[in-house]
Amino acid sequence: MKITNVEAFWLRCPIPKEKQHFSDYGLLTDFDMTLVVVTTDTGLQGFGEAKAAVGSSGVCASIVTCVEKEIKPLLVGKDAHHITRIWEHIYNGTRDHYALKRGRKFPILGRRGLTISAMSGVDTALWDLKGKALGVPVVQLLGGACREKMPAYASGGWAGTDKIGEQLLGYVSKGFQGVKMRVGVMDESVQESIRRVRAAREALGENIKLMTDAHGTFSVPEAKQFCRGVEDCNLYWFEEPISPDNRHGTAEVKASTAIPIAAGESEYTAFDVRDLIEVRALDVVQPDSAIIGGITEAMRVAHLAHAYQLELAPHCWGSAFSFMAGVNVAFAAPAATIIEFSLGGNPMMYDLVQEKIQAVDGMIEAPTAPGLGLTPNWDFVKEFKQTI
Ligand SMILES: [Mg+2]
């Protein structure tokens, strides 16, 4: 199964006005993604996603260029089965022979950032391809599903103090037993974030899992104040309290509270996650397969979570492709217990693919379709493809 072509498409689709929301990223009016397509001489194609942003909106031009101008020439003619070898080849560049001979990295300069995002899309497409070639879901290639079903949590929660309870209860009425709400600078003050969380907990009662996400926008003192103000709200986790650039600061926030601290969606490679774990910044690890380095690297992070006895909760805010990559990793990982399910306006999750993505009664079933089990809707791709 030799690789004959590697393509990347930047798609930008408007979010319908009634589904737009205001968050720490501002008002999101569009959803962007990069669809990576790896074609082989068998006619089989694999699909993956590469991200230029952790949120919905981001310019993907650099990723497209990196995939088509830098990575494609390295891959054409290679055997698509050799996923790890290809990962090491891209990551180590001209020195990959040293890397594979000596068992350690000799990385290219683009060992973090959008080069790794681009690699993520390619790597995920290769896993998709291999699953299709063997007629099994990706999770089967990763060791098999650890469970039949997993709970999903509803990821949303942008409403103000007066409406947040109603908004989150709307998710609960769809069957979700866990919900995530946004806090942070979008609230203008820490006190307002605290008020919103307290209102949410009051409306939800004791038994629904409640998570909060500040998208890295608080300062260390603000994050500590927030934790103190909601310490009795039984939060399941507090996500990205402060900037991902401040690892020791995240550890300081964690040391100040009993609330579990989650992060990882803004990190590149298992090396970044290892450093976060080593400074004791994390309780919950959240790799995004479209950012961290693909399914290969997300599984390396899953093994780190296992070894350090941390919870794994893949970041699944993106298109159907990164969602299903996260789902396959979560099912394969003993350390994962819950899957993120976007309740925002997300055409990339529902209109980009022919399959129907859903959580039934708040649960997701173990994948069974070959590869990632997704077929692009090519009319959608044609309509929303951006010219670079
Ligand atoms: Mg987040």
Express each pLDDT in 33-42 by its tens digit.
Answer: 999 999 999 9
Distance 213 CA to ligand 1 centre (A): 6
Distance 262 CA to ligand 1 centre (A): 9
388 in Cβ contact with 355 (< 8 Å): no
Distance 185 CA to ligand 1 centre (A): 14
Q: Is 35 helix (H, G, I), strand (E, B) or coil?
A: strand
Distance 323 CA to ligand 1 centre (A): 14
Distance 184 CA to ligand 1 centre (A): 11
* 0.95 exceeded by pTM: yes
Q: Per the CATH hierarchy, to which homologous superfamily does domain 3-136+378-384 belong?
A: Enolase-like, N-terminal domain (3.30.390.10)
Task: Outline which parts of the chain fall under CATH 3.20.20.120.
Answer: 141-365
Token pair 């909601």 in the structure block, residue: 230
Distance 304 CA to ligand 1 centre (A): 20
Distance 260 CA to ligand 1 centre (A): 14
In 228-381, the DSSP E strands lie at: 235-239, 261-263, 284-285, 311-312, 339-342, 363-365
Structure tokens given for 379:
């009319």
6 in Cβ contact with 68 (< 8 Å): yes
In the chain, the DSSP E strands lie at: 3-14, 22-23, 26-27, 30-40, 45-50, 149-155, 178-182, 209-213, 235-239, 261-263, 284-285, 311-312, 339-342, 363-365
Distance 265 CA to ligand 1 centre (A): 7
CATH of 141-365, one of 3.40.50.300, 3.40.50.1820, 3.40.50.2000, 3.20.20.120: 3.20.20.120
Task: Outline which parts of the chain fall under CATH 3.30.390.10.
Answer: 3-136+378-384
Helix axis angle, 320-332 to 114-134, nearest 10°: 70
Distance linking the first and last C-alpha atoms of the chain: 30
Report how far residue 99's alpha carbon sits from residue 88's, in angstroms, rounded to the nearest whole number.
8
Express each pLDDT in 251-279 by its tens digit.
Answer: 999 999 999 999 999 999 999 999 999 99
Report how far residue 151's alpha carbon sits from residue 328's, in angstroms, rounded to the nearest whole number.
14
What does each of the 388 residues of the chain score in pLDDT, given as a tens digit? 999 999 999 999 999 999 998 899 889 899 999 999 999 999 999 999 999 999 889 999 999 999 999 999 999 999 999 999 999 999 999 999 999 999 999 999 999 999 999 999 999 999 999 999 999 999 999 999 999 999 999 999 999 999 999 999 999 999 999 999 999 999 999 999 999 999 999 999 999 999 999 999 999 999 999 999 999 999 999 999 999 999 999 999 999 999 999 999 999 999 999 999 999 999 999 999 999 999 999 999 999 999 999 999 999 999 999 999 999 999 999 999 999 999 999 999 999 999 999 999 999 999 999 999 999 999 999 999 999 8
Express each pLDDT in 33-75 by its tens digit.
Answer: 999 999 999 999 999 999 999 988 999 999 999 999 999 999 9
Distance 100 CA to ligand 1 centre (A): 35
